[in-house]
Amino acid sequence: MTLHFLTSNYRVAFEEYFQPHQQRNAIDLLQGHIAEVRDGTEDRRRELDVLRPQDTTPEQVEDRVAAHLNKCYWQLAQFYRYSTPCRISEAEPALREVLRYSQAKGARRDVAPELYLAVAIHKVPEKEQEALSMFASAFDHFDEHGAPALGPRSELWARASWARLLRRVDRVRDAEAQERAIVDWIVSHPLVLPPAKLRDLVSDEADSGALNNIVEHPEVQLAVDKARAGRGTRG
């Protein structure tokens, strides 16, 4: 059995081509699969091709199932993020499972699920401090070591959520620093992301802050115009 809904191609299709009802169906499908693997018998897990023939001892079975569920939870979190409208707040349980698995395995630190979780909880008043700490720790690590797998879209999306949270708790200078980082990135990469995508990444309809007008920011407009003019000249 090919679990097509766990592939990267499916995730891209989910974001780029699926209609909202198709996205909801995909989430339901993946949630059902998670429940079936988590609660199913060993025979059923083998039917699903979760277990391999060499998985014979209880420890091997446990490790294989845990690794498979970790992949499922991370894919589910991405489905929530890329849903229309975004449903990232519903991804908290899945993301906590991803982080628990990483800590249990002693894996190399990956800040992507940390930042996803911080975004997922940053609007919950009683979890604001946890989100602030998570944003700060993850971005400190990212800024020091980099994280090629993170990608600019996730970076800008998470920084924007962090900036809005910082403003909500009256840490205006810290918020401005994150907003500045977003502008600087766009100015340095003016044609990487189209204006509509930039606006979707960093804006929030519940907020009327500066990031909602990122495409109209004078430095961003100037950088984009210069880059387009240069590309036209070379063409």
Structure tokens at 127: 């979890």
For the full predicted model, state whether its pTM sits above 0.85.
yes
Percent helix, strand and coil across the chain, each to the nearest 5: 75, 0, 25
Q: Report if residue 18 sits inside a domain.
A: yes
DSSP state of 107: P
Statement to judge: residues 20 and 62 lie in one domain: yes
Question: Residue ranges of the chain with pLDDT lower than 70?
Answer: 1-2, 148-149, 208, 232-235
Counted residue by residue, the chain has a size of 235
- State the pLDDT at residue 140: 94
Give the CA radius of gyration of the chain.
Answer: 20
Q: How many CA atoms lie within 13 A of 69 on its CB side?
A: 25
Q: What are phi and psi of 76, to 5 degrees?
A: -60, -40
Statement to judge: residues 77 and 157 lie in one domain: no
Burial 51-66 (b: 16+ CB within 10 A, else e): beeebeeeeebeebbe
Q: Report if residue 37 sits inside a domain.
A: yes
Instruction: Tell me which residue range forms the domain holding 1.
Output: 1-88
Statement to judge: residues 223 and 126 lie in one domain: yes
Statement to judge: residues 127 and 42 lie in one domain: no
Statement to judge: residues 67 and 119 lie in one domain: no
| Final residue belonging to a domain, choices 54, 88, 122 | 88
Statement to judge: residues 126 and 233 lie in one domain: yes
Cis omega (within 30 of 0) for bond into 85: yes
Statement to judge: residues 27 and 75 lie in one domain: yes
Cβ-Cβ contacts under 8 Å for 110 (sequence gap 6 or more): 102, 147, 149
DSSP state of 191: T
Instruction: Quote the CA–CA distance of 75 and 96 in Å, as a whole number.
Output: 13
Instruction: Quote the CA–CA distance of 29 and 223 in Å, as a whole number.
Output: 43
Spatial contact of 226 and 186, defined as CB atoms under 8 Å apart: no
- State the pLDDT at residue 232: 65
Statement to judge: residues 167 and 231 lie in one domain: yes
Q: Report if residue 23 sits inside a domain.
A: yes
Q: Report if residue 98 sits inside a domain.
A: no
Statement to judge: residues 172 and 228 lie in one domain: yes
| Final residue belonging to a domain, choices 56, 88, 120 | 88
Cβ-Cβ contacts under 8 Å for 126 (sequence gap 6 or more): none
Statement to judge: residues 113 and 182 lie in one domain: yes
Report how far Cα 141 is from the mean position of its chain's Cα atoms: 17
- State the pLDDT at residue 47: 94
Amino acid residing at 111? V
Statement to judge: residues 155 and 219 lie in one domain: yes
Cβ-Cβ contacts under 8 Å for 191 (sequence gap 6 or more): 224, 227, 228, 231
Number of domains in the chain: 2
Statement to judge: residues 130 and 56 lie in one domain: no
Spatial contact of 72 and 3, defined as CB atoms under 8 Å apart: no
DSSP state of 108: P
- State the pLDDT at residue 230: 81
